Amino acid sequence: MADHDDLTSDSAPPWEEEPAERDENTADIFGAPPAEPVAAPAVVAPTPVAVEAPSDPDAAYTVLARKYRPRTFEDLIGQEAMVRTLANAFSSGRIAHAFMLTGVRGVGKTTTARLLARALNYETDTVHQPSVDLTVDGRHCKSIIEGRHMDVLELDAASRTKVDEMRELLDGVRYAPVEARYKVYIIDEVHMLSTAAFNALLKTLEEPPPHAKFIFATTEIRKVPVTILSRTQRFDLRRVEPDVLVKHFDRIAAKEGARVDADGLALIARAAEGSVRDGLSLLDQAIVQADRGATVSAAVIRDMLGLADRGHPGRFPRPVGFRGRSGGGDAGSAGPLPRFGRGQGLGARRPDPAQGTGRPPGRHRGPYLGRHPVAPVADVAEGP
């Protein structure tokens, strides 16, 4: 009994003791001596290598007509008379409440309208009045250029032709601008408005509030009612001369790092027909006609435009029976091509007016007489 008490009090049962896994005097269970410690190799940080950031393939390309849109009035080419008139009006304080900009496509109507919106709301730390000097951006210039200024509304009349949409627009005219000096309404392609929309605009355009300015742009000035024209200050933007366009295209090509032959630029300026936007679109096509660093020749541009080579007229085939001014023609030709009147074929014979036409009187319609009801020639009595 005593032995049993000593067993329970002094030591645990042998089956509850945890045996040692290995001998403390050996390095492993097989009795091998402990191995010498090996120093860990030093970790060397890799040398950073400058890697050029790859270009974004999804980045949209900006065409030249948008990339080089004028940002100041001095950048407008070929419109010196309009710029001079606006500069004098702004300097003297005689600023109209409505402007009508007209001209062919691509001469700067929408660009001038945006420049006018910036000039009307131009303000810096030292300038607190409208100014056409936009060399230094004002407080509102960036937002107006990006089209997100809440006091400058640019609308397309082609998509807002109804009178209800015009009334909705005019309901906000009476409210003062939020942060700018004027609330400017730019309406492009104004000739697309309906007659009812024009009539709804008349009263507001005649007596607008002092904080509202209207700028209209159109390519079809004849479709705008006279009552609208009489309430606006009209500016006709003229076509740009070819020599001015050539210099302008040469500067842009130099900025783009492209080489275009001078004769090729002249061909582009001639094909543009006075439109800056059309010319820049053609220049965009011409630049990619040659590899980077190579010169785009005039022959390549002529082929791109689909023009005939005026220096070699004999390279084109002549029609059968063609004779030159000297009367000579190709061998076997049938002579000069006959001339016919309207409604006559190859085998038709020109009728003799003295024989009449066989039609009832008053219904005669012969060649070169038109559709006027006249009596036949044979029925007219001759004088003494």
pLDDT tens across 62-113, in order? 999 999 999 999 999 999 999 999 999 999 999 999 999 999 999 999 999 9
Please indicate, yes or no, whether residues 247 and 113 belong to a single structural domain of this protein. Answer: no
So what's the pLDDT on residue 307? Answer: 77
So what's the pLDDT on residue 25? Answer: 58
d(CA 304, CA 23): 94
Q: Which two tokens stand for residue 66?
A: 């948008």
Q: Which of 191, 211, 236 is the last residue of a domain?
A: 236
Helix axes 262-272, 298-305, angle to 10 degrees: 20
**CATH label of the domain that carries residue 289:** 1.10.8.60
Q: Is the pLDDT of residue 289 over 80?
A: yes
So what's the pLDDT on residue 42? Answer: 61
Q: Which residue has the higher pLDDT, 121 or 319?
A: 121
b (16+ CB within 10 A) / e for 294-306:
eebbbebbbebee
Q: How many domains does the chain divide into?
A: 2
Q: Would 14 be classed as within a structural domain?
A: no
Please indicate, yes or no, whether residues 144 and 256 belong to a single structural domain of this protein. Answer: no
pLDDT tens across 19-65, in order? 555 556 555 555 566 666 666 556 555 554 444 444 455 578 899 99
Please indicate, yes or no, whether residues 150 and 176 belong to a single structural domain of this protein. Answer: yes
Q: Which two tokens stand for residue 62?
A: 């900006």
Of all residues in the chain, what percent carry a pLDDT higher than 90? 57
So what's the pLDDT on residue 63? Answer: 93
Please indicate, yes or no, whether residues 209 and 290 belong to a single structural domain of this protein. Answer: no
Q: Would 374 be classed as within a structural domain?
A: no
The structure's pTM equals: 0.66
Sorting pLDDT into bands at 50, 70 and 90, what band is 355? Answer: low
pLDDT tens across 201-242, in order? 999 999 999 999 999 999 999 999 999 999 999 999 999 999
Residues with Cβ within 8 Å of residue 74, at least 6 apart in sequence: 83, 135
Q: Would 70 be classed as within a structural domain?
A: yes
Q: Which of 290, 305, 320 is the last residue of a domain?
A: 305
pLDDT tens across 169-180, in order? 889 999 999 999
Q: Would 344 be classed as within a structural domain?
A: no
Please indicate, yes or no, whether residues 266 and 192 belong to a single structural domain of this protein. Answer: no
Q: Would 195 be classed as within a structural domain?
A: yes
Please indicate, yes or no, whether residues 179 and 282 belong to a single structural domain of this protein. Answer: no
Of all residues in the chain, what percent carry a pLDDT higher than 70? 65
Q: Is the pLDDT of residue 128 over 60?
A: yes
Q: Which of 202, 217, 236 is the last residue of a domain?
A: 236
DSSP letter string, 126-178: S--S--S--SS--TTHHHHHTT--TTEEEEEGGG--SHHHHHHHHHTTTSPPS
**Containing structural domain, residue 150:** 65-236
Instruction: Work out the burial of residue 75: count CB atoms within 10 Å of its CB; fewer than 13 is exposed, 13-18 middle, 19 or more buried.
Output: middle
Sorting pLDDT into bands at 50, 70 and 90, what band is 140? Answer: very high
Q: Report the amino acid identity of residue 159.
A: S
Contact assessment for residue 368 and residue 354, using Cβ atoms and an 8 Å cutoff: no
Q: Would 20 be classed as within a structural domain?
A: no
Q: Would 140 be classed as within a structural domain?
A: yes
Q: Which residue, 384, 359, 354, is CA-closest to 374? A: 359
Sorting pLDDT into bands at 50, 70 and 90, what band is 153? Answer: very high
pLDDT tens across 291-350, in order? 888 899 999 999 999 875 555 544 444 554 545 554 444 444 444 544 544 444 444 555
d(CA 255, CA 266): 18
Contact assessment for residue 170 and residue 199, using Cβ atoms and an 8 Å cutoff: no
Please indicate, yes or no, whether residues 94 and 225 belong to a single structural domain of this protein. Answer: yes
Please indicate, yes or no, whether residues 203 and 277 belong to a single structural domain of this protein. Answer: no
